[in-house]
Amino acid sequence: MSLETGKRRRGSQLEAAILDAAWEQLVEGGYGAFTVEAVAERARTSRHVLYRRWPTRGDLALAAIRRGAVDHGALTADTGSLRGDVIALMTRANEDRPRIAAMLSVHLGTYYRETGTTPADLRQSVVGDSGEYLEEIFRRAVERGEIPSADLPARVKTLPGDLLRNEVLMTLAPVSEETIAGIVDEVFLPLVLKG
């Protein structure tokens, strides 16, 4: 991260530099090698600045994971169909998920032990229940007349993401386009459209 000589970073610019440095530190060395000192050095700031914002290394790691793992803005593309929207959502998630899944499963064992959390707790803290962008996709499908109602069981709505996550965790590799299409066409849409 470049820093212009003589310019002091403040506010959101400083926070972004710190969280980017923390994410890089987590990805490269895992939580076991993750220290406030290493992040401060990488971000070219002091430990005091970090501790003021994040009292523990666990707090700093969680903030870095939230920043590094989530890009909700790209998740709600309107392709013109429920099928296309769900495939676009899964494809976007598939681009980053293998790298993130590998890092979360391999590098964060110490984090889970130290904080007393589980991978499910971390996922909930980072992405919540993914409800907003899924609701947007289903709302558009109702408006287009593809489905009569967005009032579907939560498990049906989250099924494509759950199956994608399972594939990624089992292989630690990107899922093929054919597999994504199969999840949508053979499992998800028949449940949604069974009416």
What CATH number has the domain bearing residue 33?
A: 1.10.10.60
Do 76 and 50 belong to one domain?
no
Of 24, 42, 66, the residue that ends a domain is 66
Q: Per residue of the chain (195 residues), what is the pLDDT tens digit?
A: 444 444 678 888 999 999 999 988 988 888 888 999 999 999 999 999 999 999 999 999 989 888 876 554 455 678 999 999 999 988 888 876 655 665 666 567 788 888 888 877 877 776 665 567 788 899 999 999 999 998 999 899 989 988 998 888 788 778 999 999 999 999 999 999 885
Whether the pTM exceeds 0.85: the reply is no
176 with 157, same domain? Answer: yes
Please tell me whether residues 18 and 107 are part of one structural domain.
no
Q: What is the DSSP letter of 183?
A: I
Round to whole Å and give the CA distance between 101 and 168.
Answer: 7
Give me the domain span that covers residue 90.
72-193
Do residues 118 and 158 both lie within one domain?
yes
The answer to whether 31 touches 109, Cβ cutoff 8 Å, is: yes
pLDDT of residue 1: 43
Distance CA(172)–CA(114), nearest Å, equals 24
Considering its fold, how many domains does the chain have in total? 2
Q: Can you give the pLDDT at residue 6? A: 47
